[in-house]
């Protein structure tokens, strides 16, 4: 199964998503600084994939500092986590993974364990759990898609954005595998074209029918009756169900509501931030204006024109029909109540909301 990140030969290896679909180039990353730059420049991107890459970065730091003794190795892991935490502010999976790695490092150090080896195991575990979560999300979400019809997705919430399989694309993959006749409409997703470059590439590889549209075509297609459902990923979900995802998702949700089309959010539980009461507190990353003034490296606007470039927006819970996680599905009209119940779910004895 396609995975965008792995740890091999003492390096973090990343499929460079800036160069897709033109070429498939794997970056061999040997330092936390290099990895941080790879996250900042979107060589690796997508909320769960960023978390996984950062976890491998902590393991890399422990390995490199291992020779100088356990205390220095633990300090190196803490420093790595601090640097990685400064890369991108919106996706909570990054902070979730770093916190898990930091705590595990402290446990290992206190027990006199092998920090380098055990932290690598922990990062691999985070990776494996995310892949399994995506498959479960796919299974649960597929049931919510119609037997046939058009499904709109925005950005890329596929294998490239996760440990493998994908969240929104995982739902689509599972629905197609279950025999549903789904035709995907992929928003191109300006400014960085994750939909055009990555979602279209992934779905073509799988042989899933996909049509690429410019972002401003969605309303027209909805009015023509060609879209029966929307499914998107998430970067952070507040406890009331407000959801941050790629800029433009909010617009899609408003259009979907106007046309009476359901919108599903698919995300692993590591994307849910129960500490935040609502979406107003989600930090929105603001990126370099050159991304808007240019298109695939060529200038398409006067260099001096002011721009805003928020990388994400927040879709209010009131516009979302369901949030599909591996723990279960939170459904309107009580997304907040369902998220609360899922949060309290005993994972060793799962049951309750499905």
Q: Which of 100, 246, 327, 331 binds ligand MRU (CB under 6 A)?
A: 246
Instruction: Give the interface segment with ligand MRU, choosing from 41-49, 104-112, 210-218, 223-231 (CB under 6 A).
Output: 41-49
Instruction: Give the interface segment with ligand MRU, choosing from 60-68, 204-212, 216-224, 228-236 (CB under 6 A).
Output: 228-236
Q: Which of 162, 243, 270, 325 binds ligand MRU (CB under 6 A)?
A: 162
For ligand MRU, the closer of residues 225 and 310 by Cβ is: 310
Spatial separation of the C-alpha atoms in residues 168 and 234, rounded to whole Å = 9
Burial 67-80 (b: 16+ CB within 10 A, else e): eeebeebbbbbbeb
171 binds ligand MRU (CB under 6 A): no
Q: Taking each helix axis from N to C terminus, what angle separates 115-142 and 92-110, rounded to the nearest 10 degrees?
A: 140
As measured in angstroms, the least distance from the Cβ of 155 to ligand MRU is 4
Q: How far apart are the first and last CA of the chain?
A: 27
Angle made by CA atoms 320, 128, 25, in degrees to the nearest 5:
90
Q: Which of 144, 311, 330, 335 binds ligand MRU (CB under 6 A)?
A: 311
Name the residues annotated as catalytic: 235
Q: Which of 155, 193, 212, 253 binds ligand MRU (CB under 6 A)?
A: 155
As measured in angstroms, the least distance from the Cβ of 234 to ligand MRU is 6
CB-CB neighbours of 266 under 10 Å: 30
45 binds ligand MRU (CB under 6 A): yes
228 binds ligand MRU (CB under 6 A): no
Spatial separation of the C-alpha atoms in residues 168 and 140, rounded to whole Å = 11
161 Cβ neighbours under 8 A, 6+ residues apart = 4, 45, 46, 47, 48, 49, 167, 198, 233
Q: Which of 130, 235, 313, 338 binds ligand MRU (CB under 6 A)?
A: 235
Q: Which of 36, 199, 240, 245 binds ligand MRU (CB under 6 A)?
A: 245
| DSSP string covering 104-150 | HHHHHHHTT--HHHHHHHHHHHHHHHHHHHHHHHHHHHHTTS-SEEE
As measured in angstroms, the least distance from the Cβ of 180 to ligand MRU is 21
Residue 347: both structure tokens together? 């994972």
74 binds ligand MRU (CB under 6 A): no
Spatial separation of the C-alpha atoms in residues 260 and 341, rounded to whole Å = 28
Q: Which of 35, 161, 212, 323 binds ligand MRU (CB under 6 A)?
A: 161
167 binds ligand MRU (CB under 6 A): yes
46 binds ligand MRU (CB under 6 A): yes
**Please, which of residues 185-214 interact with ligand MRU by CB under 6 A?**
194
Phi, psi of 131 (to 5 degrees): -60, -45
Q: Which of 138, 163, 164, 233 binds ligand MRU (CB under 6 A)?
A: 233
Q: Which of 5, 29, 48, 120 binds ligand MRU (CB under 6 A)?
A: 48
Q: 262: buried, middle or exposed (CB in 10 Å: 19+, 13-18, 0-12)?
A: middle
CB-CB neighbours of 201 under 10 Å: 19
131 binds ligand MRU (CB under 6 A): no
Helix (H) or strand (E) holding 209: none
For ligand MRU, the closer of residues 4 and 70 by Cβ is: 4
Instruction: Give the interface segment with ligand MRU, choosing from 45-53, 78-86, 220-228, 331-339 (CB under 6 A).
Output: 45-53
- Give residue number: closest CB to ligand MRU: 233
Instruction: Give the interface segment with ligand MRU, choosing from 68-76, 233-241, 250-258, 344-352 (CB under 6 A).
Output: 233-241
Are 237 and 267 in contact by the 8 Å Cβ rule? The answer is yes
Contact footprint for ligand MRU (CB under 6 A): 42, 45-48, 91, 155, 157, 161-162, 167, 194, 233-235, 245-246, 311
């Amino acid at each position: 199964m396609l995975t965008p990140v792995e740890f091999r030969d003492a390096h973090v290896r990343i499929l460079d998503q800036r160069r897709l679909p033109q070429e498939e180039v794997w970056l061999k990353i040997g330092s936390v600084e290099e990895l941080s730059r790879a996250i900042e420049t979107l060589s690796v991107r997508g909320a769960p994939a960023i978390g996984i890459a950062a976890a491998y970065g902590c393991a890399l730091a422990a390995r490199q500092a291992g020779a100088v003794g356990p205390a220095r190795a633990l300090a190196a892991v803490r420093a790595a986590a601090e640097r990685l935490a400064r890369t991108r502010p919106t996706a909570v999976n990054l902070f979730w993974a770093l916190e898990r790695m930091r705590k595990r490092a402290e446990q290992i150090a206190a027990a006199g364990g092998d920090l380098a080896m055990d932290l690598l195991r922990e990062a691999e575990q985070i990776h494996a759990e995310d892949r399994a979560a995506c498959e479960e999300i796919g299974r649960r979400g597929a049931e919510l898609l119609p037997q046939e019809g058009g499904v709109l997705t925005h950005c890329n919430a596929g294998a490239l954005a996760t440990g493998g399989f994908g969240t929104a694309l995982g739902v689509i993959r599972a629905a197609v595998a279950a025999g549903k006749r789904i035709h995907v409409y992929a928003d191109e997703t300006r400014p960085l074209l994750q939909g055009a470059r990555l979602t279209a590439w992934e779905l073509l590889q799988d042989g899933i029918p996909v049509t690429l549209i410019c972002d401003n075509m969605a309303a027209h297609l909805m009015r023509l009756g060609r879209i029966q459902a929307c499914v998107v990923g998430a970067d952070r979900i507040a406890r009331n169900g407000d959801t941050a995802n790629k800029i433009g998702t909010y617009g899609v949700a408003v259009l979907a509501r106007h046309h009476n089309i359901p919108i599903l959010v698919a995300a692993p539980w590591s994307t849910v931030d129960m500490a935040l009461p609502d979406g107003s507190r989600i930090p929105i990353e603001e990126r370099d204006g050159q991304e808007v003034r240019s298109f695939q490296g060529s200038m398409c606007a006067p260099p001096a024109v002011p721009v805003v470039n928020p990388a994400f927006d927040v879709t209010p819970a009131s516009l979302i029909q369901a949030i599909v996680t591996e723990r279960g599905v939170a459904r309107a009209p009580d997304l907040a109540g369902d998220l609360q119940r899922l949060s309290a779910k005993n994972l060793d004895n799962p049951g309750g909301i499905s």
